[in-house]
Amino acid sequence: MSEKEDTPIKYWQISAYAGPAMITSLAWMPLGYVIVKFYAKYTSLDIATIGTIILFARLFDAVSDPAIAWLSDSMPTKWGRRKPWIVLSAPITATGFALIFMPPSDIHWTYFLAANITLYVGWTFFEITHIAWGLEVVHRPEQRARLGVTLKVFAYIGSLLFFAFPFIFNPDPQSSEFTQPVMKALGLTIAISFPLLALFSVNVVPQEARAHSSPYSFIETIREIIGSRTFRFYAAAFICWACADAIIVALFLVYVDVYLDLSMYEGAILLAAYCSRLVAAPFAYRLLKNFSHKTLWCYATCANALLMPMVAIFPTGPGAMGIIMTYAAIIGVVDCLIGILVITLLGQVIDDDSARTHHDKAASYKAATNLIEKTGRALGTSSSLIIVGSSGLTVGGESSDLSIVTLIAVLAVVPPLLNLMSSFLMSKFPTQSEHVREAFAIELSK
DSSP 327-351: HHHHHHHHHHHHHHHHHHHHHHHHH
269 shares its domain with 314: yes
CA–CA gap between residue 7 and residue 138 (Å, rounded): 9
Grouping H, G, I as helix, E, B as strand and the rest as coil, residue 400 is coil
Asked if residue 354 and residue 243 are part of one domain, the reply reads yes
Domain count, the chain: 2
Residue 33 counted as domain residue: yes
Q: Quick one: 15 and 117 in the same domain?
A: yes
**403-411 LR contacts (CB < 8 Å, sep 24+):** 404/258, 404/259, 407/251, 407/254, 407/255, 407/258, 407/259, 408/255, 408/259, 408/311, 408/312, 409/312, 410/247, 410/251, 410/384, 411/247, 411/248, 411/251, 411/252, 411/255, 411/308, 411/311
Give yes or no: residues 162 and 261 share one domain.
no
Residue 323 lies inside a defined structural domain of this protein: yes
The answer to whether residue 374 is domain-embedded is: yes
Same domain, 155 and 86: yes
- 244 CB burial (10 A radius; 0-12, 13-18, 19+): buried
216 is a domain residue: no
Q: Determine whether 301 is exposed, middle or buried from the number of CB atoms within 10 Å of its CB (0-12, 13-18, 19+).
A: buried
Q: Print pLDDT tens along the chain (446 aa).
A: 343 344 467 888 989 999 999 999 888 888 776 777 788 788 888 877 887 887 788 778 877 888 888 887 777 777 778 888 899 999 999 999 999 999 988 888 999 899 999 998 998 889 889 888 888 888 777 788 888 899 989 998 998 888 888 888 888 776 667 788 888 999 999 999 999 999 999 998 887 765 555 666 778 888 888 888 999 999 999 999 999 998 888 788 788 888 888 877 777 888 888 889 989 998 998 999 889 999 999 999 999 999 999 999 998 888 888 899 999 999 999 999 999 999 999 988 988 888 887 777 888 888 899 889 888 888 887 788 788 888 888 766 777 889 899 989 999 999 999 999 999 999 999 875 544 544 554 454 44
Cβ 124 vs Cβ 65: under 8 Å: yes
Task: Answer yes or no: do 298 and 186 share one domain.
Answer: no
Domain end point (choices 209, 239, 262): 209
- CATH number for the domain harbouring residue 263: 1.20.1250.20
The residue from 209, 236, 267 where one domain ends is 209
Residue 170 lies in a domain: yes
Helices marked H in 259-320: 266-290, 293-307
Q: Tell me which residue of 296, 109, 87, 101 sits closest to 181, measured CA to CA.
A: 101
Question: Among residues 209, 237, 265, which one ends one of the domains?
Answer: 209
Looking at residue 438, what is its pLDDT? 45
Sign (positive or negative) of CA dihedral 187, 190, 191, 192: positive
Based on the fold, state whether residues 246 and 201 are members of the same structural domain.
Answer: no
CB 429 within 8 A of CB 293: no
pLDDT for res 398: 77
Same domain, 226 and 205: no
Looking at the domain assignment, is residue 412 inside a domain?
Answer: yes
Asked whether residue 215 is assigned to any structural domain, the reply reads no
Q: Please check whether residue 214 lies inside any domain of the structure.
A: no
CA nearest neighbour of 139 among 251, 8, 45 = 8
Residue type, 350: I
Together in a domain, 270 and 123: no
| Residues 249 and 172 placed together within one structural domain of the fold | no
- Provide the residue type at 404 as one letter: I
Same domain, 229 and 171: no
Residues 300 and 425 in one domain: yes
Domain assignment of residue 174, given as a range: 1-209
